[in-house]
Amino acid sequence: MKIGSVPAQSLLRSFGLIAPLLVIAATSVSAQQPRPGSDVINRLTPVTDQMLLNPPANDWLMWRRDYSGSGYSPLAQINKANVKNLRVAWTWSLTNGPTEMTPIVHDGVIYIWNSGDKVQALNAATGDLIWEYRRDLPEKLLNAGGNTLARRNMAIYGNNLIIATSDVHIVALNAKTGAVVWDHQTADWHDGWLYSGGPFIAHGKIIQGMTGCGNAEPGGCFITGNDPNTGQELWRFYTIARPGTPAGDTWNGLPLNKRFGASAWIAGSYDPVLNTVFYGTGQPYPWIAEMRGTLPLKPGENNDTLYSDTTLALNPDTGALKWYFQHLRDDSYDLDHVFERVLVDLPVNGKTRKAVLTVGKPGIIDALDRTNGQFLWSKQTVPQNVVSSIDPKTGVKTLNEAAIPHVGKTTMNCPADPGARGWPATAYSPRTGMLYLPLTEFCSMTTPTPLEPGQVYTGGGRAVYRRVPVPHSDGNFGRIDAVKLSDRSTAWSKRQRAPETSAVLPTAGGLVFAGSWDRWFRAYDDTTGDILWQVRTNSAVNGFPISYAVNGKQYIAVATGTGSSQLRSLATLVPEIPNPDAGSVLWVFALPDGQ
């Protein structure tokens, strides 16, 4: 670990590797005007900075609901005593394709993302369509497959809904009409750039991470800060350290144009007191270290590959780096540490520390001091063989040399490349003081696929993974753990055959909602893990569940549907559990009237 202050890289000094900033109008978009009778939209109020700092209990204004990334709902109408009566309130069919979205809810309006860049505003109490925006995407993008057309979150600020598009634009839509307010192009999608995570607002700036950095983009990915009034890019921080900067000499002597990866494909968190944004990054590319040139280690060089697999603490106004902590050095396993950063104050050795927690693909919880990046503690959850030990003072992980993949051999890695946990987010409940984690127990047989002599690297991980059970497994893959953060004990762990495929949602009603590949959406008791309610949906539960209220009535909403890359990987573990090829749906549940 190295802690320091490094200025953000200027866009004007991009080494000619990143396309210049462009602000252009979309060539072909359509927005349907609000339908008659959509009175709820007329009552919509602007979303203020104060609302984002203290979100109304009835709303869900950002990806994990609040700046701390908790994913916790303070609503308690639906509780342990009455959840058994939960019923379908309404459903809405979504465009078929990868479905990994988080709805946004404000003043009784729910905004949803459909695969292929269709955004819809619905009456959150009835499911009636208010308006629709469709982006006319190039045929090549529409046929690309995978997660190209998926987006995990949107943002709402002022009078605008802010989205990141599949052709790498950031767009502001009028929240009442769906009309385009402004359109900013960040990069050229023809060069492989992608958005999978969406924007969030911090200190009056739009913060957006770039992905697609496994497509051989020289110099890797970046995070931008944009003006919410115009879309203009204000700063750009590169997630692969530049030569000559304090962390720039960590790539075994590789020049910048031979450094790839470090995608920022999940939205961040924000501490308004510290005025600090926390972001995670993905792995370096190609996945196998000796194929990308970071092994064997050259004399006098460093091969940490910063800032891959790292927590970044950034100033949202300038993009300046305050500190960083690398969770996994020289990653050869595709084990990203890009996921949500949860901000919570914790007792550590008799003192309360301002902590930031994250869980990377290895399933290891890392807790850091969010004021300076100091390591606090780690906790292992699932079986893994990548890390052999963790220094209790520094948090530096010693890698298991026997598990590092090498060209010409096949290696077992636990967990497998999709990770003990993937993009489905963990959540923290202040009610119980517990972190809830959706997990998967499995391994992979990793076989590198080296370049042919004279072949130029054009992208991809360059490895084949055959996913297998953990040695001596009992046949269960899916898991939800509840970890008490005050003493790091596991309060409960529920295991099942089917992999968990949704994020988790704890509520003030004493419940934890989560869904899995076998189409079950369940409510667990937050203190015991007992299943208190469940419903069989039409397809894999594959989104971020949320809770909101309209006119005093609480709702639970979650998206289902197959097609995402993670689902396809997990499906190979349980071939006996089929799912339909199509059928993405937003499910919304509520108690019967009068309860």
Chain segment 193-207, per-residue pLDDT in tens:
999 999 999 999 999
Chain segment 170-187, per-residue pLDDT in tens:
999 999 999 999 999 999
Mean pLDDT in residue range 544-568: 94
Nearest partner of 145 among 98, 76, 77, judged by Cα? 98
- Could you give the 3-state DSSP secondary structure of residue 67? coil
pLDDT at 545 over 50: yes
pLDDT at 30 over 80: no
Chain segment 408-441, per-residue pLDDT in tens:
999 999 999 999 999 999 999 999 999 999 999 9
What letter represents residue 578's amino acid?
A: P
What CA–CA distance (Å, rounded) separates 242 from 223? 14
pLDDT at 31 over 70: no
pLDDT at 350 over 90: yes
Mean pLDDT in residue range 224-240: 98
What CA–CA distance (Å, rounded) separates 399 from 411? 14
- Calculate the dihedral angle through the C-alpha atoms of 363, 364, 365, 367, rounding to the nearest 10 degrees: -150
- Which ranges in 185-274 belong to alpha helices (H)? none
So what CATH class is 35-128+423-442+477-595? mainly beta
- For residue 536, what are the CA distances in angstroms to 78, 81, 88, 97, 498? 19, 21, 11, 20, 13
Q: Which residues have a Cβ under 8 Å from the Cβ of 214 and sit 6 or more positions away?
A: 260, 261, 263, 285, 459, 460, 461
Chain segment 262-305, per-residue pLDDT in tens:
999 999 999 999 999 999 999 999 999 999 999 999 999 999 99
Q: How confident is the model at residue 33 (pLDDT cuts 50, 70, 90)?
A: low
Residue 487's Cβ-count burial label (10 Å; 0-12, 13-18, 19+) is exposed
Asked if the peptide bond before residue 307 counts as cis, ω within 30 degrees of 0, the response is: yes
Identify the sign of the CA torsion 83, 88, 91, 96: positive
pTM recorded for the entire structure: 0.94
